[in-house]
């Protein structure tokens, strides 16, 4: 699959920060068997250490309470909760941190793996650009043009890799070859996303160069989410090792691109 990518994009020199790897779980309470919190807890028991909280249709107060509960689960294993959208869900008002008592503790095991106070966001390809200030920022991308828009992001998801039940008709799928080409272009580590349901698919994505895979339906819909998470994580190798990203003053990663 030739996407006409050209040379890899070059990013600024950045201080080291751990980015998502292995199996990253995306939430969807509508399809979670037995309840979203139960499924996340089971997935964490099965080896998942990164969770992206979606549920953007919920009222903010409900979404904040859910974030507190999921962070508590992840803290116990040194995991990290990423929040979809520009609001980190750490305070009473969008973008404003709350006290530890109100937020359920702003300090949780995070990007350094040592229990840091951080904000971790995952943003859509639609924006905002540049990302709001945060300790860790990911971006959903689907093609070379979207990769060229990256500025200070730390990682990306690339999708759809395979046909997906969550978004039927969404595509066309990249497949392993197309994924590898986009990863070659990306200036930051990449997670594979879309239709990843089997251990062999996880392995194929890692072999293509992904630092990990983002999974929704395979775990959310599973009769045994712990076992499913365990089997997928076992083939992820916690992602192929990649150079850590880093931060300086915000700047584009694409100043030398035509």
Residue-level pLDDT at 156: 98
- In Å, what is the CA distance from 219 to each residue of 93, 211, 228? 31, 19, 6
Q: CA 195 to CA 161: how far, in whole Å?
A: 7
163 inside domain:
yes
Which sign, positive or negative, has the C-alpha torsion 182, 187, 189, 193?
negative
- State the pLDDT at residue 164: 86
- Smallest CA-to-CA distance from 129 within 157, 112, 148 is with 148
pLDDT of 98 above 80: no
Tell me, yes or no, whether 64 lies in a domain. yes
The domain in which residue 121 lies consists of: 22-236
Total count of domains within the chain: 1
Using left for φ > 0, alpha for ψ between -120 and 50, and beta otherwise, residue 136 falls in: beta
Percentage with pLDDT > 70 across the chain: 74
Strand bridging mode 116-117 / 107-108 = antiparallel
Rounded distance between C-alpha atoms, residue 24 and residue 122, angstroms: 12
pLDDT band at 237 (very low <50, low <70, confident <90, very high): confident
CATH code for the domain of 137 = 3.20.20.70
Contact between residue 235 and residue 192 where contact means Cβ atoms under 8 Å apart: no
- Residue 173: half-sphere exposure toward Cβ, Cα within 13 Å: 17
pLDDT in tens, 33-87: 999 999 999 999 999 999 999 999 999 999 999 999 999 999 999 999 999 999 9
Q: What integer best gives the mean pLDDT of the chain?
A: 83
């Amino acid at each position: 699959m030739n996407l006409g990518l050209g040379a890899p994009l070059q990013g600024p020199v950045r201080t080291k920060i751990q980015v998502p790897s292995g199996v990253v779980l995306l939430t969807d309470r509508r399809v979670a068997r037995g309840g979203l919190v139960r499924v996340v807890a089971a997935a964490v028991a099965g080896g998942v250490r990164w969770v992206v909280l979606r549920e953007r249709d919920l009222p903010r107060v409900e979404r904040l309470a859910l974030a507190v509960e999921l962070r508590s689960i992840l803290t116990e294993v040194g995991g990290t909760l990423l929040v979809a959208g520009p609001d980190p869900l750490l305070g009473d008002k969008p973008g404003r941190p709350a006290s530890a008592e109100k937020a359920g503790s702003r300090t949780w095991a995070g990007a350094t793996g040592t229990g840091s106070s951080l904000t971790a966001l995952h943003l859509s390809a639609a924006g905002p650009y540049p990302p709001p200030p945060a300790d860790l920022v990911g971006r959903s991308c689907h093609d070379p043009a979207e990769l060229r828009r990256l500025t200070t992001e730390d990682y990306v998801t690339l999708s759809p890799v395979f046909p997906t039940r969550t978004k039927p008709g969404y595509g066309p799928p990249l497949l392993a070859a197309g994924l590898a080409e986009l990863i070659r272009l990306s200036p930051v580590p990449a997670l594979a996303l879309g239709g990843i349901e089997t251990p062999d698919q996880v392995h194929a994505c890692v072999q293509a160069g992904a630092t990990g895979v983002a999974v929704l339906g395979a775990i959310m819909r599973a009769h045994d989410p712990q076992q499913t998470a365990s089997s997928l994580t076992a083939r992820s190798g916690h992602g192929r090792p990649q150079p850590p990203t880093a931060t300086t003053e915000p700047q584009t990663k694409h100043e030398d691109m035509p």
